[in-house]
Structure 1
Amino acid sequence: MTMPTSSPAAARQRLWHALAMYCGLGLGLAPVAPEVCAVLRGLVGADAAALFWLDAQGRHEGFFHEDSPAGAQDLFLNEFDRLFVGPHEINVPTLARADGPRIGRMLDPGARYFRSNSYNLLVRASGHHHTLDLRVEAQGRTRAVAMLFRAPGPGFTAENAALLERAVGWLARAFAESPAAMPAHTADAGAVGHVVLEAESRFPLFADEAAAQLLRQANLPGLGLRGETQVTLPPDLLERLGLARSEAAARMAVPGGWLAAGMSTLHSLAGRPAHHLVTLQMQRPRSVDMVQRVLALPLSPLQRELALLAGLGHARADCHRLAGVGEAALKKHLRAIFAATGARDWEDLAQRIR
């Protein structure tokens, strides 16, 4: 995604293509949030970007912010109702409402906003001053809010807003099942974390450092741990991890993939009730890595899409339906793809992309 290009227009077109490919995976925005934020920041020319995704009731479910400090993230996750709700607090719930413009509510927020907690404890605390916002709707409701930030100085313009609004269709596509999508293959990434729960109450008793780090990275409401040196987990940890009603595995969409959780019962000692063990590990979608490999190839946008179809597990014949190319054109494009990748045939191409 950072290959040299011949002009600013070509570089911007490359970013649009990257956004289309990441969102076209149909994984939602959480697993691709770091990549999407980087693309949006590059398209508009911002200092930083953030994505907030919402649950069915419109509450913030998780987020990814490129550069906000740990303390600001903890306040947002743990103290939202106490500090950031009020008539002059303009933040995610305000921007998610469908009773206002989809783009640019923060271009001129008014003088009272700059005295609000939202500005002083979150935006200014991150070194920013200007905000450009976009509401993302899919399946009849708001699914996400995107924000771009700039430091004090020149703010965002109407031209910037128009450019960001062009991204809304691709961002909404992330929540729809793509016709080109295959079942999401994942790879376990990083260390395995463990949390011990009390036998009867199932309150957390102990979390190792790997579990604490995974929970810090997850950005789940009520689990703000970034600013803490000692880990204090909430008593309803199981519910927050989706394990409250079952001892089977569960997973939650978090920045960069999914947080996989499973619970088992430990062996009891001397007839005492047995404690429980929660195991945590990050799962990363392999398709995101495939997109990054394809974007690095010296190919046209259509040829990259064809190469990605191979990596995702589609048959060669699927290219006619999914990419809209005839057999003669497909042969021509495949010759270029094979030359760029060194692949011998479609099956070899799939292995190389993976």
Structure 2
Amino acid sequence: MRPSDAIAHVRHLAFLGLPSEVVIPRMLEALHALIGSRINGFIWSDARGLPTNIYSPVIYMAAREVMVGGYHLMQRPGELAIEDLINGPRVIDNIAPWRDSGRLERTVLYNEVFVPSEAEQMLDLVLRDRDGPKGIVFLTRGAREKSFGLKDRRILLGLAPAFLRALRVGAPTSADPDADEPAEARFLEDGGSESMIVCDLAGEVLEMSADAHVMLDCANHGLIAPGQASTDLPGLPAAVKRALAAGTLTNTPVTVRSIWGHFRFRAFPTAMASGGGLVVLIRQLETLSLRVIDRLRDTPLSPRQREVALLVATGHGPDAVAARLGVSRSTCRDHLENVHARLGVGSRAELVAALVG
């Protein structure tokens, strides 16, 4: 993918209006294609710059230790903390003064989180608006890898408005499984990735893959229980445990909502050395708009045509598309005709089938 297309893809993801916890992980995937990094992630913060949540799939457990705050217990006065980066004087590369002075290598944050993850180099982008800081994007590379350059900084800085938009427009995911959602936020039963959890018959987690660990934490709203270390195995959500106790999970899947999206659980009996057990499959469901935007990524459409195609494929009528884009209905119709011609479809129904089915 050309850099210009990857940048457009990040901006289109921010355009979706999904909760930031759902869309920012996908924006980070696209960012990785633009700026090669060993690890990237995002830390949400409150108005004081204190971390409130984190997403980083590669250094997930080490990063969660930062969120739990255990490293604070080992810090010496004046050492670098995450809030120092978020409240730093710069928009980009607030870690530079610590790195350039040699103070970074003497901090607990560096030695307990960065070094074990081979993430000795870091580039950060702080996101702020009139109400204060919102969070920080971070990218890392190993000590022997190429340093982040001026081009990397320009690309990251240019994407700041997209990340801010994602933080502003996305409404939190409802915890009510029966609540209505806009069409573009609808979750698809046949999409998303799936991982495996091994439990005993009482539903206590015995073993899981690293991917399942991340998904299960996210299904539990990405929160670590008081007194729980981030390396402990998380438990199944309460709704899943109730279904196991009732004996229905092997026949009827259970879908759990959290701030990170929708997660579907289903169970299968299995034989274990200690007796009977269960394999629980957890699937993070895909939203309709994310599926469509992924399928639009490699099409020959212009950025505006992709926006029109996205809105049409997610159920918006002509008036709604025109209003959303701030154009006349006739202009919207012209864009849609061009979309049909470039994708080789003859109707709205064929367009939806190509992008959703």
TM-score (norm 1): 0.70
CA distance in 2, matches of 1:155, 1:117: 22
**Does residue 27 of the first structure (1) align with residue 22 of the second (2)?**
no
Q: Which moved more, 1:206-215 or 1:183-192?
A: 206-215
Q: What is the deviation of 1:192?
A: 9.1
Q: Equivalent residue for 1:100? A: 89
Bigger helix fraction: 2
Aligned position for 2:347: 345
Amino acid at match of 1:108: P
Residue 159 of structure 1 deviates from its aligned partner by 4.7
Counterpart-to-counterpart distance in 2, 1:225 and 1:259: 22
Alpha-carbon separation, structure 1, partners of 2:13 and 2:158: 16
Question: Is 1:120 aligned to 2:118, yes or no?
Answer: no
- Alignment map for 1:44-59 (pairs within 5 Å): 44-54=35-45, 58-59=49-50
In the alignment of these two chains, the number of paired residues is 308
Aligned pair in 2 of structure 1 residues 41, 290: CA closer, same or farther (>3 Å)?
A: same
Superposed displacement of residue 307, structure 1: 0.4
- Distance between the aligned counterparts of 2:6 and 2:342, measured in 1? 21
Q: Is the 8 A contact 2:15 2:165 kept in 1?
A: yes
Aligned to 1:185: 186
Matches within 5 A, 1:51-200: 51-54=42-45, 58-68=49-59, 72-73=62-63, 75-78=65-68, 80-83=70-73, 85-97=75-87, 100-109=89-98, 110-138=101-129, 140-152=131-143, 153-177=145-169, 182=183, 184-188=185-189, 189=192, 190=194
- 1:101 aligned partner, one-letter code: R
Determine if contact 1:30/1:63 at 8 Å carries over to the other structure.
no
Residue 78 and residue 321 in structure 1: after superposition, are their counterparts in 2 closer, same or farther (change >3 A)?
A: closer
Quick one: which amino acid aligns to residue 12 of structure 2?
M
* 2: CA distance, partners of 1:191 / 1:12: 32
What displacement does 1:59 show? 4.3
CA-to-aligned-CA distance 1:100-145 (integer Å, 9 cap, x gap): 2222111231312112121122112222222111112357232221
Describe the SS at the equivalent of 1:131. strand
Residues 84/175 of structure 1: CA separation in 2 closer, same or farther (3 Å cut): farther
1:288 aligns with 2:280: no
Could you tell me how far 1:22 is from its partner in structure 2?
0.7
Match of 2:178 in 1: none
In the superposition, relative to structure 1, how do residues 76 and 258 fare at CA in structure 2: closer, same or farther (>3 Å)? Answer: farther
Gap runs ≥5 in structure 2:
172-181, 241-254, 266-280
- Percent identity of the aligned residues? 20
- Determine helix, strand or coil for the equivalent of 2:31: helix
Letter aligned with residue 251 of structure 1: R
CA RMSD of aligned residues (A): 4.1
Task: Compute the displacement of 1:191 (Å).
Answer: 6.6
Structure 2 SS opposite 1:317: helix
- Give how far 1:283 is off: 3.5
> Residue by residue, what CA displacement relative to the aligned partner does 1:217-266 show, whole Å, maximum 9, x if unpaired?
336343699996xx5558xx979x9xxxxxxx973223xx34579xxxxx
SS in 2 for 1:100: coil
Q: What residue identity is the alignment partner of 1:206? A: E
Q: CA deviation at 1:306?
A: 0.8
User: In structure 2, what residue type is equivalent to 1:133?
Assistant: D
Alpha-carbon distance change, 62 to 194 in structure 1, aligned in 2, over 3 angstroms: farther
Match of 2:257 among 247, 251, 260: 251
Change (3 A) 1:183 1:329: closer
Secondary structure of the structure 2 residue equivalent to 1:171:
helix
The reply to whether residue 314 of structure 1 matches residue 328 of structure 2 is no
Check the 8 A contact 2:39/2:139 in 1, yes or no: yes
Query: Aligned letter for 1:75?
Result: E
Tell me, yes or no, if structure 1 residue 14 matches structure 2 residue 11.
no
2:325 is the counterpart of 1:323: yes
